[in-house]
Structures are given as structure tokens and as C-alpha cells.
Structure 1
Amino acid sequence: MIYSFPPPPPRTRTKPIRLLCVGLPRSGTESLSQALTQLGYTTFHGWDIFFDSAAHIQAWAALAHRKYASPDDSAAPITRADFDALLAGDCDAVLDTAPALFAPEMIQAYPEAKVILNTRRDLDAWQRSAWRAFVTEGADSWTYWLLHWFSAEVFWRWRLYYVVSCPGLFRGRTTGEGLRRHGKRVYREHGWMVKGLVSPERLLEWTVEDGWAGLCEFLDKEIPDQPFPHTNTGNGFRKRVQQILRPEKKKVLVTMVLSVISAGVLGSALVLG
């Protein structure tokens, strides 16, 4: 690998995991995360992986590779210790990337946690949203592809999402192929799998349109005196990705300029020497 790091020190859990929100990304996860924060939870969302250190993103990529890309069945099972080492120690609710990719493993690892299956009512709308997020702004982005060669963080994000996880989750050679051919079926099967693993009293099926009522009843919380948050629309996601990549582009430009200068100096030395 161009960028390879030793395993990061394992994190120390200071709170028990109380809640797993195992719906696939683009199923209201950020709105749900903000709602849970208002209810007193400390959340760990896919963005927390996205903004983590390169070493931690590499560790998540290795965990995803163990599940989705191991050549045989000899890979070690994924356990609670694996998750506790990477999740923020003070989080007690986990959403988006981690529980979507590792739903059965996390459900087994944290049997004391309640489970929310957050879904979209309109499956076609979910697929369009997922395509914009994972393909248009991700796997098919030449800017993103170029950046990943010059930044350790972007390199491991690229490998985690577009080399291992999305092709593995959607069962395709590439993210786009898998999402186009199998996305909606994977979405349905994911929900069936979760409902088969979790007892009814431990599980809530929920959509953003349901708002506070069912969520607060399930979590034994009072309904806040404010509207339910609705965030991270398609345009909002695109702006956020562009905002994230803007400083990465500046760093890459500096790296490329320095590389060209270094190559020129080395070439001159070889010619003149």
C-alpha cells in the first residue's frame, strides 16, 4: 500500500452501547443522529469515520475486507473487541456506516442494545440518493480518485468505501454496478435479515416521516418541544462533500507542486552529474 500505518491504539469504552441504528446510509441517518443527540445520546455516525485519522480509517477498511473480501472462510470472526477498539469510547448510539456494514456482527456483539431499523418509504428515492452519494460524488468522481493518491486520509476513505465496502455490500465488481443491479434487493434483504435477528421487543422499524412519537416511546424518552430535525438532503450532502474536499485539494496541489520540483531537481542532478 502507498499509505500503510500500524494498527492504532485501541480505544477505551467509557459508556455501554445502548442503541444500534442499522439502516443503510441515505435512510435518514443524519436526521436520526441529530434527534438522538437532542434526546441525550452520544452518537457515532459515518461522518465520524470519514473524519477520523488515516490509521483508524485503514483499520475500518481492514475490518470490512475481513468481512467482504476475504478469499475463504478462514478470516477471524468480527467481535465486540474489534468494534470497541474503533468506535469512540464515549458513544452510546451507533448509526450509518458501521452498523450498516456490520449489522449482524454488531447485533450479536451488543445484545443489550436496542435496535432501530431506519428505512426509506420510497425505495426508488433511496436508490437515487445512494447513487448520488456513493457513485456520482464518490466512486465515479475523477477529483476524488486523483486526490486519493496524494492524501492518506482520502486514500483510505476511497479503499474503505469504494474498493471494499460498497462493492461488497451491493455485490458488484464496482460500487456503481452493484448499486444499479442489486441495490434495491440488497436494501430489502438487509431489512429482512435484521428483523430475523432481533426480537420484536428490542426492535423499532422507523422512518424520518414517523418523527418523534414512535422513536421516543421506544426509547422511553419525553418528546422534545421542537420540530424533528430534517437534514442532509441530496444537495446538502453534495455541498458537505465539496466542503470536505476543498482543503484536501489544496494539500494535494502543494504535494503535486513539490513532487514536480523534486523530480526536476533530481532529473537535473542526474543529467548534470
Structure 2
Amino acid sequence: MDPPRGPLILHLALIRTGTASMAKAYEILGYKNVYHGLTMLDRNQDWVLLEKAADATYPQVLNPGKKPPPPWTRSDWDQLFGECDAVTDLGSFFSLQLLEAYPDAKVVLVEREYDRWWRSVEDVAIYALWSLPARIFSYIEPITGVRSGDTIRKMMLGFFNARDVHQLRKNAKERYFGHYRQIRELVPPERLLEYRLGDGWGPLCQFLDREEPNVEFPRTNETKEIRKIAWARLWKYTGMAAIIVGKYAIGIMILGAALWFARDRSPDGFAFLSKYLNREP
């Protein structure tokens, strides 16, 4: 049996650089199975594979004494991305490995002004992974067999060469610019597009050899979508955990009430509860 073709596009811009809008643009242009974090949050098998990829790529995230697995090969990456026409968003944490696995793919970069980008990462990604609600969710997830939070934390800590969120913050700027510099050095100019958000369809369609569609270039409110999905997942897995643990369900119901109270009191969801308990990240 022939191996999967693999992705035609590696969109290696980091998270919080308009990746949801770009993923939608690829779909409008006719690309199938465009991989983005918003579309795979409930695909538990993907989280299993992503955690294995993080362990193999960033052995520093492993618990002390745990033997690192061997680096992933093309066949390993095919389990995640082999059937995808384009890989975006979370795939950027494995950029060097994907460039090696899929050397014929076209590469697209989108770079934001650093300070604006980092504020966005702090407000959305860091808060979602290291705030009080994230710590609460980290106790719920293992009960349900889901490891999305732990997996993304591994990916981010590994990518930023950090042991904790404080070191991640310290390393962020150097790693951000280093990432884009590495991609530019590794990818031949004929395979690389540095796209600027707001440039419309022209440069992208010319690079991908596609006709310009007669629709506006998509602008997805990624932050709104992430928060919407995050709340839905929180209630879903809290309910699952309550069913699984049975006699401890009352305690989880109390926890759920506290979460609802926090959401009701603050436009930013858990911010009120986090500040009330003085446990901000």
C-alpha cells in the first residue's frame, strides 16, 4: 500500500498569527483536511499522537528518568498529517521535523509585530494553559482520559525550550525571531511565501497556482472561537467526570457551580475567580 501523499502546504507561522483565517482561506481554495487546532480539539487520538510527537521532539519535557522515544520518521508524521492537504497552527511547533518529513510541500509564513503577538499569546494561550481554570481542568481531564491540556503545555514548553511558564516568558522573544529565521534559512525562495495579513487573495493564489475566488478573504475571530469551544469542552468533560466518579459527583457539581459563578461574574470567564483566589498565572 502506498504511503499517504502528505500535506501540500506547511503553514509554519506560529499560533496567534491569524492561523484560523489562513486555514479557512486554504479551505476556500479547495484544499481538504486542513489541520488546525480549532478543528481537532475533540479528536482524542490526535492528542495521543501529538503528545508522542512532543515527547520525541522535545525530550526535556519528559519526567526525570523517563527514556526519550526515538525521533519521529515520515511514517509517524503521516499518522497525524498524511491525509491533510495543509497543516497550520499547532503544526508550527514541529516545523523543522515537518520540513524534513515533507520536503516538497510549499511553505507559508505569517509574522506579526512581536509585542502585539506576545500580548495575544499571553491573553489566550498562556491563560488557557496556566491559569486557575486550566489547573482545575488539569484535574478533570485525566478522569475522562483526555490529555489535550497536558499535551499543548508540553508542546509549548518544548518549543520555547522552557521548564515552566516563567522560563517560557523569558525565552519567548528570542525563540519567536529564531523560528522565523530558521524557516527562511531552510526553505528555498521558490517554495516559501511570506504572506502579510490584509494582502488579500493575490499573493497567496499566485504562490499556490490557484484562481482567486470571488469572495472576501476570511477574517476569523479566533479568540472568540477558542473561548466558545473551551467553555463547551469544560462543561462536557466536567459532566463526563461526574458520571465516571459517581459518588464524588457532588464535589464535581460544586466545582461546576464555582466555575459557572466565575463565568457569570466576569466577561473573561474565570478572571474573577482567579483574582479572588489570588492564583493568577
| TM-score, reference length from structure 1 | 0.80
- Rounded to whole Å, the distance in 2 between the matches of 1:123 and 1:253 is 42
Q: Distance in 2 between matches of 1:49 and 1:179?
A: 25
Partner SS state of residue 17, structure 2: coil
Aligned to 1:211: 200
* 1:20 partnered with 2:5: no
Cα separation, 1, equivalents of 2:40 and 2:151: 10
- Paired with 1:68 and 1:40, the residues of 2 have a C-alpha distance of 34
* Residue 166 of structure 1, CA deviation: 1.1
Q: What SS class does the counterpart of residue 50 from structure 1 fall into?
A: coil
Deviations, residues 104-123 of structure 1 (Å, cap 9, x unaligned): 11111111110001222x21
| Range with greater deviation from structure 2 (35-44 or 240-249) | 240-249
Compared CA separation, residues 75 and 255, structure 1 to 2 (3 A) = closer
By how many angstroms is 1:51 displaced?
2.1
Indicate the residue corresponding to 2:87 in structure 1. Answer: 94
Query: Structure 1's 200 and 136: CA in aligned 2 closer, same or farther, altered over 3 A?
Result: same
The root-mean-square deviation of aligned C-alpha atoms, in Å, is 2.5
Asked if 1:78 corresponds to 2:67, the answer is no
Asked if 1:238 corresponds to 2:233, the answer is: no
Q: Describe the SS at the equivalent of 2:108.
A: strand
Q: CA deviation at 1:101?
A: 1.4
Indicate the residue corresponding to 1:130 in structure 2. Answer: 121
Question: Is the CA contact 1:45–1:94 (under 8 Å) kept in the aligned structure 2?
Answer: yes
Question: Secondary structure of the equivalent of 2:83?
Answer: coil
With over 3 angstroms needed to count, the CA separation of the structure-2 counterparts of 1:75 and 1:137, relative to structure 1, is: closer
Contact 2:36 2:88 (C-alpha < 8 Å) held by counterparts: yes
**Size of the alignment, in residue pairs?**
243
| Equivalent residue in structure 2 for 1:147, among 120, 124, 140 | 140
In the other structure, the counterpart of 1:158 is 149
Between the aligned partners of 1:232 and 1:26, the Cα distance in structure 2 is 11
Residue aligning to 1:3: none
Q: Give the superposition deviation at 1:259.
A: 4.5
SS state at 1:20 partner: strand
What is the one-letter code of the residue matched to 1:226?
A: V
CA distance in 2 between partners of 1:39 and 1:46 (Å): 19
5+ residue gaps, structure 1, are 1-11, 262-273
Q: In the TM superposition, what are the counterparts of 1:1-273 in structure 2 within 5 Å?
A: 14-42=4-32, 43-53=34-44, 55-69=45-59, 75-87=69-81, 89-98=82-91, 100-120=92-112, 122-140=113-131, 141-153=134-146, 156-162=147-153, 164-174=154-164, 176-259=165-248
C-alpha change, 1:217 and 1:151, in structure 2 (3 Å) is same
Tell me the TM-score normalised to structure 2 length: 0.78
Amino acid paired to 1:96:
D
